[in-house]
Amino acid sequence: MSHQPPLFDEPGAPVPPRESPAGTDPSGHRARLRQRLLDGGAEALGDHEVIELLLMQAVPRRDMKPLARTLIQRFGSLAGVLQTDARTLAAHPGMGEASAAALRIVTVAATRMARQQVREAPVIGSWQALIDYLTIDMAHLTVERVRVLYLNARNMLILDDLVGEGSIDEAAIHPREVIRRALDLGATALILVHNHPSGSPQPSRADIDITNRIAEAGRLLGVSVHDHLVIGREGHVSLKAKGLI
């Protein structure tokens, strides 16, 4: 007798009635979802339906609608679900590693596409592409991360460097080390980036102070600080645009 894969990822979860030996969908629900996506494009499906359709790829015989709705309810939005780390997704009731991977691969693909756009053009001339990339990658993180984007004389990205985790102060990011790294890379400018897990991108006094320390260190050695971007679920803030640099 051939071995049949489990219908649920979660150990001990109840097994619903089988749809058919071939795993077809007698109600036609899955087929209708796929057709709506193909016919209608990006806005054809609701957020929970996008999650549902993704989960269907990992679990061939199971009604995924209830699980999709609980994920949206717990993590707040489609973006919140897709940007949740894999371990947290896998531990959610009714999920598992296969289902978590089906969701996480979307963010991996989106991040790589956005990053490629940033690398192919001068950063200053493709600002929205940079914001899109950083938002996909950082807006829903549950820990604070500090990054430095090092640019050459044409404002092309040389290196996207994760320099630390935690509050943005001199314990996480050292002005002299940032500028020394720029000189080692041959960078003439840089952009500081960090996220606020609270959701609000409004800069703190520490954000402003460390930015100005790095800018002052850079001025002495010919390295410009173009901006400091704070990313949050509620949007982003440019310290330069607010006149804080």
Question: Domain 29-110, what fold?
Answer: DNA polymerase; domain 1 (1.10.150)
Q: Which two tokens stand for residue 56?
A: 């269907």
Q: Which two tokens stand for residue 245?
A: 């640099």
Neighbours of 177 (CB within 10 A): 14
Amino acid occupying residue 128: Q
Q: At CA 241, angle to CA 237 and CA 242, rounded to 5?
A: 75
Distance in angstroms (rounded) separating the CA atoms of residues 120 and 138? 21
For 54-78, write each residue's pLDDT tens digit: 998 888 778 889 999 999 999 988 9
Q: How does residue 167 score in pLDDT terms, banded at 50, 70 and 90?
A: low
Q: Tell me: pLDDT of 124 over 90.
A: no
Among residues 78, 128, 84, which one has the least CA distance to residue 104?
84
> What number is the average pLDDT over the span 86-112?
92
Q: How far from 100 is each of 29, 146, 230, 241, CA to CA, in Å?
A: 22, 26, 28, 38
pLDDT reported for residue 60 = 78
Contacts of 219 (CB under 8 A, 6+ apart): none
Among 13-17, 120-124, 238-242, the range scoring the smallest mean pLDDT is 13-17
Q: Where in the chain is the domain with CATH 1.10.150?
A: 29-110
The full length of the chain comes to: 245
Q: How does residue 1 score in pLDDT terms, banded at 50, 70 and 90?
A: very low
Among residues 166, 210, 171, which one has the least CA distance to residue 192?
210
* Class in CATH terms, 128-238: alpha beta
> What number is the average pLDDT over the span 163-191?
84
Distance in angstroms (rounded) separating the CA atoms of residues 234 and 140? 10
Does pTM surpass 0.85?
no
Q: Where in the chain is the domain with CATH 3.40.140.10?
A: 128-238
Neighbours of 44 (CB within 10 A): 14
pLDDT reported for residue 168 = 64
